[in-house]
């Protein structure tokens, strides 16, 4: 995979992952769907999903620390904790900036590095409440851990980009998710009631939450948009709530689900180049096995970029009803 270093945020699509290992794609994720686990394959509930930096695969992480790769995640899997006697269950994972490694984090704050993931703490922080999420800094040389009470713990270069936590403000429901802003100089914390707490430069990119929407099921995750000017919140029944410039791409909220949704993960932004398009496998997006001529391809890329810019201008001037 190399150092593909995606930007934080989704290009307009996301996967919803269920505790039974099911993965449901929406928006641009429809062309990046690589399956999920069958009910007979889940020895331990799935607790999260993490995209590879190319967006052409993902890992599912289970409560017992087991990792199941899909798509190009298969060639970037470096072991897991299955069969390990853990003091506390695994609650999430995060990929390294290169895509050639990942960290697993347990509820007691223990962090387990694999591949090229560096170890920035030993044994985890002293926590009063369970750790619920982990987020990597923009440089990839540090990370934050957040507890259910909103306390934020910083490691590596995250210490230079820590802006407080929700433990200092009234929190009605437990914190369940954390996402950093695009430049890494801020982050949002999300409560299970849909409350969104911005810190650092996230205060300039906050567009409300779902706490006043009469939710029937708790919020379980958040995903920022590519621009950083919006985000999606996902609830346990698969309902997805867009804010800011987040588009509406669908959800599983109107269907009967057999297992709760546990996470939302966006298809990561990667630069659109002639090289990257020419490298797309035949049939991956309905294309021909033969490589297209260079000039039409360049013109096509230019048209896509101009069209995308026009779409952003259009949405910026005319409100889009949800």
For residues 210, 212, 214, 217, the Cα torsion angle rounded to the nearest 10 degrees is 30
Helix (H) or strand (E) holding 315: helix 294-317
Decide if pLDDT at 303 tops 80: no
Over the chain, what is the mean pLDDT? Answer: 82
Q: How confident is the model at residue 322 (pLDDT cuts 50, 70, 90)?
A: very low
Please state the rounded mean pLDDT for residues 126-149. 94
3-state class (DSSP) for residue 303: helix
Q: How confident is the model at residue 170 (pLDDT cuts 50, 70, 90)?
A: confident
Which tokens sit at 133? 């999420």
Alpha-carbon span 155 to 144, nearest angstrom: 6
Q: How far is CA 190 from CA 87, 114, 139, 148, 240, in A?
A: 26, 27, 23, 10, 14
Taking alpha carbons only, the member of 71, 143, 56 closest to residue 102 is: 143
User: Which residue is associated with the tokens 């996470």?
Assistant: 263
More confident residue, 50 or 254: 50
Decide if pLDDT at 156 tops 70: yes
Decide if pLDDT at 148 tops 60: yes
Can you give the pLDDT at residue 123?
Answer: 61
């Amino acid at each position: 995979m190399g150092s593909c270093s995606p930007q934080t945020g989704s290009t307009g699509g996301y996967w919803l992952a269920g505790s039974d290992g099911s993965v449901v794609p929406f928006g641009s994720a429809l062309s990046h769907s690589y399956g999920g686990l069958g009910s007979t394959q889940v020895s331990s509930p799935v607790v999260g999903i993490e995209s590879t930096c190319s967006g052409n695969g993902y890992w599912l992480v289970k409560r017992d620390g087991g990792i199941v790769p899909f798509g190009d995640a298969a060639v970037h899997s470096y072991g897991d904790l299955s069969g390990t006697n853990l003091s506390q269950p695994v609650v999430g994972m995060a990929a390294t900036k290169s895509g050639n490694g990942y960290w697993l984090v347990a509820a007691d704050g223990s962090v387990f590095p694999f591949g090229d993931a560096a170890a920035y703490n030993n044994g985890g922080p002293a926590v009063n409440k369970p750790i619920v999420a982990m987020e990597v800094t923009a440089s990839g040389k540090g990370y934050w851990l957040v507890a259910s009470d909103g306390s934020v713990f910083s490691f590596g270069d995250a210490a230079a980009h820590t802006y407080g936590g929700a433990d200092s403000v009234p929190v009605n429901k437990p914190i369940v998710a954390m996402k950093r802003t695009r430049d890494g100089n801020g982050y949002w914390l999300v409560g299970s009631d849909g409350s969104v707490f911005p810190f650092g430069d996230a205060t300039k990119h906050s567009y409300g939450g779902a706490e006043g929407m009469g939710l029937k099921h708790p919020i379980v995750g958040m995903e920022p948009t590519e621009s950083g000017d919006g985000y999606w919140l996902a609830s346990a029944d698969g309902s997805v709530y867009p804010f800011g410039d987040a588009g509406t791409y669908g959800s599983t909220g109107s269907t009967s689900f057999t297992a709760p949704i546990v996470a939302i993960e966006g298809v990561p932004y990667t630069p659109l180049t002639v090289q990257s398009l020419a490298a797309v496998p035949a049939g991956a997006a309905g294309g021909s096995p033969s490589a297209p001529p260079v000039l039409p391809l360049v013109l096509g890329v230019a048209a896509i970029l101009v069209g995308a810019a026009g779409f952003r201008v259009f949405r910026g001037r005319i409100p889009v009803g949800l």
